A and B are shown apart, each in its own frame.
Chain A
Amino acid sequence: MAGMGMRDIKRKIRSINNTKQITKAMELVSTAKLKRARDRLGSTRPYFETVKNTVQDIFRNSKDLRHEYLTQREVKKSLYIVITADRGLCGGYNINAIKKAQENIEDKEKAIFITIGQKARDFFTKRGYEVAESFIHISEKPEYKHAVNIGKMALELYAKEEVDEVNLIYTKFESTISQVPKLIKLLPIAKEEKKEENTEFKYVSYEPSPEEVLDYLIPKYIESTIFGALIESSASEQAARRIAMENATDNAEDMIDDLTLSFNQARQAAITQEITEIVGGAEALK
């Protein structure tokens, strides 16, 4: 920190200290929020998993189902549902999800978006992408009815053939230190290929009919998948923010240490210089 006077260094230390206090507070806040988000994740996962398994079971057991949501169409336009946060300061969380979406888009004209969170909305509208609808202020505390709204909208666009496939991009919460952006295809529903060796054909009765059961189940499946993704993303957001803020606090501490060292050096240099001057002056008087 050469060329900086003592006063400058002191001022800088004080300003970094202020920033540190803020980041520390934000870290504590997101730690508390993360805990809540993880609890929710734990209580909603069973639902999400059960719906998914039941739907997959039905597809596996009945080979000759015909339904508009199951048939592949030529893809002229794709819908992307992108889930991000409303606010920044959470490391790469937002940009990773957005990048994941961009990777999959070959032609800008063929993509249409439903964005969740301010960050995704701003990003895609600014760059001239077609945004069908954006939801904000729900990513922190997602509720089931939000997922229902989003699901309904996606199904409507699909039924009107305005889009030919629906993709969902969210951030999976693997652990507190690792969150992975994921893309899943919602429509047309893809069968999960499992090893068919030991699965024997099971006769399952669908009341009143397989088609009607599917009519009910598919929207449910979409909604619950979106809901699960929203919950996963909100936990990921808090975890990402906590890590980012922890790093920021650590960095601020390092900087304060460095600056304190140069401050002390500067102080010592000043004292030494003063003594030299006094001694020099006294010598000259002799």
Chain B
Amino acid sequence: MASTFQLEVVTPDRKFFEDEVSMVTVRTTEGDVGILKEHMPMVAPLDIGVIKIKQKGKTVMATCAGGFVSVDEDKTTIITDAAEWPEEIDIARAEAAAKRAEERINHGDAKEIDVVRAQIALNKALNRLRVAKDDD
């Protein structure tokens, strides 16, 4: 596994990850994309999903709440609004958020914008739960 490249994940409040990795998988708005060394330069927005990082034969996962990925010849940068490792996720809070969002969607007279917002919140919460539970 000598073919590694530099990966950097940044969020507004911290530098989430910075190291040499052998592969990273992200979910763009067009679908999942796996990036290996010497991928062609690319810029794509990210959907709510999971970042899978393969490093020294091991795979770690992290949540990603949307953002974008920029692949350059020697370096890949993921910029996201929020990212979390599985152990950082507050399961109770995510479950509460999912429940709240579901209620809002099922509530008949909600405005369209509220439903869209609730759906985004629901996606984020479910994504967190997925990553957190997968870890166990």
Contact = CB atoms under 8 A, between A and B. Distances in A.
Interface of A: 40, 43-44, 46-47, 50-51, 54, 57-58, 144, 202-208, 212-213, 216-217, 220, 224, 227
A207 B77 contact: no
Contact of B12 (A57, A208, A217, A227): A227
A204 B41 contact: yes
6 contacts: A50-B8, A58-B43, A202-B41, A212-B45, A213-B43, A217-B43
A43 B15 contact: yes
Contacts of A206: 42-44
A217 B77 CA distance: 14
Interface of B: 8, 10-15, 28-30, 33, 40-45, 67-68, 70, 77, 79, 81
A84 B18 CA distance: 34
A94 B122 CA distance: 42
A54 B43 contact: yes
Q: Tell me whether chain B's interface is mostly helix, strand or loop, or mixed.
A: strand
Given A54-B43, A216-B45, A208 B11 contact: no
A203 B10 contact: no
Contacts of A50: 8, 10, 77, 79
Contacts of A57: 70
For the complex of A and B, 6 pairs with smallest distance between CB atoms: A207-B44, A204-B41, A216-B45, A144-B12, A47-B10, A205-B42
Nearest to A206: B43
A226 to B, nearest CB: 11
A1 B119 CA distance: 74
Contacts of B15: 43, 46-47
A215 to B, nearest CB: 9
Contacts of A205: 40-43
B35 to A, nearest CB: 12
A50 B8 CA distance: 10
Nearest to A148: B81
Contacts of B44: 206-208, 213
Contacts of A220: 67-68, 79
Contacts of A43: 13-15
Given A54-B68, A205-B42, 18 more contacts: A47-B15, A50-B8, A50-B77, A51-B79, A144-B12, A144-B81, A203-B41, A204-B42, A204-B43, A205-B41, A206-B42, A207-B28, A207-B30, A207-B44, A213-B43, A213-B45, A216-B68, A220-B67
